A and B are shown apart, each in its own frame.
Chain A
Amino acid sequence: MSAVIVGVAESDLGIVGPDRTELALQAQAARRALAEAGLTLADVDGLATASVEMNAPVLRVAEYLGVRPTYLDSTNVGGASFVSHVGHAALAIEAGLCEVVLITYGSTQRSQRSRVYGQAGAVRYEEQYEQIWGLPMPVGAYALAASRHMGLYGTTAGQLAEVAVAARQWAALNPVAFSRDPLSIEDVLASPMVCSPLHVRDCCLVTDGGGALVMTSAERAADLPGLPVDVLGFGEASTHYRIMSMPDLSSIPAAISAPAALARAGLSVSDIDVFELYDSFTITVLLTLEAIGLCAAGEGGAFVAGGRLAPGGDLAVNTSGGGLSYCHPGMFGIFTVIEAVRQLRGECGERQVTGARTALAHGTGGTLSSGATVVLGRQG
């Protein structure tokens, strides 16, 4: 693949207040990312976005920004969407469909208190077989996966808590992370149970925030000021939508998308220096570590024990603090790519992974329903 990422940015994060819209957050992030790339909105001829709240978001964002794209991608596969957008955009740039693609996301779900927890009234489609039972989604589906992992493999609540503790330790090194106070395994286990075995601190944050990525061709990037990051490989997959239809609760779509992305990059998982893995819940990380081949199926719990994912551990995972401690405005996928790019550029200050040259960003969407993986590399 020959497309590159030349700009990344967040909008204001955390709690932005009740009077700001997700469009305003996206514009803020987009203009920051373009400025970093040495480009302006006038250069943009491709646009990709997804939204929790809005229909036809790519049209609304295009109008709001004032761009008239000839490449449009509204792919919505849940939180993984923006990782898919990167892969699609790379192919579009290589095919010559467009030259500068802007990928944006924004949400004000914390300030708007719009996070939905259960449904009321008549439930349509396949949801009618699930939502009638009072299982809150998505947390209930992830709790089912965690319960099975514990029952089949002997994974413990303390091992799941290790993931949240490691994320918090990384977040303490990230000035813009939302939750930076110390967190212990005991704190996680003592936090209120939501759906067993998942406690509140096994679950991602609910914050506001937005992000943007700017992609172009390697040729165009040669004339731009920054250090481009190569998109080396991409894969995506889906195995189901509702958790009742998931073929195997221990095998997530990352088991398909990550090997595809690594193969296209010509790399193996042991070649990767930094991993940014969607952490909607602690169990998501365990299942992803297994799916991408860092450990065998069922061994994720033992693998993360002893602070292995924390700063100074064997493996650099979720160096921003992740959705568990940095930010989680409804969908987190774009932030996995933002952090991966910054690590490869060496811009991460106290949390910088020394000498990082390759990174893998993985998004998981829905109820373990979709997976999208990109492999990124630093030039030179």
Chain B
Amino acid sequence: MTMEQPYPAADSDSAPFWAGCAAGQLLIANCASCQHRSLYLRGHCPRCGADEPARQEASGQGTIYACTTVHRAPAAFRDEAPYLVALVELAEGPRIMARIDQGNGGEPRIGAPVTVDFRPGPADFVYPWFVLAEAG
């Protein structure tokens, strides 16, 4: 039996992020008061407390901050193992977790450049994968 993979419970905070992914945009928060950029959208800036930070479309460029190969996968992912999951540091600053596609055989070393690639996920969600930029 194939178990259902988990998917986001989009809420009033996160729905714009997931809608952005569906539209090919990676949205982050950018505070007008303190210029702090943060990953997930919420009604205030987590650094200075200002109301309703603006949404910004991130460039989709980033680098590998940390990366692991999952060998012993949760049941719903067992058919895909082994696979890479990383923390990607976006060019704009925030970090995001994502699956990594090695593209043309790129090595997921710390600092290796990656580019966002929107791919279909379960329950009609679109997920922001990242692809290693080049081999070597």
> Could you tell me the distance between the alpha carbons of A173 and B111 in the complex, rounded to whole angstroms?
44
- Taking CB as reference atom, which chain A residue is nearest B108? A147
Q: Chain A interface: which size bin?
A: 35 or more
Q: Quick check: B68 and A121 within 8 Å, CB to CB?
A: no
**Contacts known (A144-B67, A243-B97); A133 close to B85, Cβ less than 8 A:** yes
- Taking CB as reference atom, which chain B residue is nearest A137? B74
**Contacts known (A135-B68, A249-B65); A144 close to B87, Cβ less than 8 A:** yes
- Taking CB as reference atom, which chain A residue is nearest B109? A151
Which residues from A are CB-within-8-Å of B11? Answer: 124
Which residues from A are CB-within-8-Å of B87? Answer: 144, 243-244, 249
- Contacting residues of chain A (95-150) with chain B, CB-CB under 8 angstroms: 117-124, 126, 128-136, 140, 143-145, 147-148
Q: Quick check: A123 and B68 within 8 Å, CB to CB?
A: no
> Could you tell me the distance between the alpha carbons of A124 and B8 in the complex, rounded to whole angstroms?
7
Q: B97 is contacted by which of A117, A135, A192 (Cβ under 8 Å)?
A: A135
Residue A196 at the B interface, CB < 8 A? yes
Q: Quick check: B68 and A196 within 8 Å, CB to CB?
A: yes
Which residues from A are CB-within-8-Å of B97? Answer: 129-130, 133, 135, 243-244
Which residues from A are CB-within-8-Å of B75? Answer: 117-118
> Could you tell me the distance between the alpha carbons of A123 and B40 in the complex, rounded to whole angstroms?
15
**Interface 1/0s, chain B 71-97, versus A by CB < 8 A?**
111111100100101110000000111
Q: B85 is contacted by which of A121, A134, A193 (Cβ under 8 Å)?
A: A134
Q: Quick check: A129 and B6 within 8 Å, CB to CB?
A: no
- Contacting residues of chain A (278-331) with chain B, CB-CB under 8 angstroms: none
Q: Quick check: B74 and A117 within 8 Å, CB to CB?
A: yes
Can you list 11 A-B contacts (CB < 8 A)?
Answer: A118-B75, A119-B6, A134-B76, A134-B99, A135-B68, A136-B74, A140-B70, A151-B109, A195-B72, A197-B68, A243-B97
Give residues in B with beta carbon < 8 Å to A: 3-11, 14, 39-40, 65-77, 80, 83, 85-87, 95-99, 109-110, 121, 123, 125, 127
Give residues in A with beta carbon < 8 Å to B: 117-124, 126, 128-136, 140, 143-145, 147-148, 151-152, 192-198, 243-245, 249
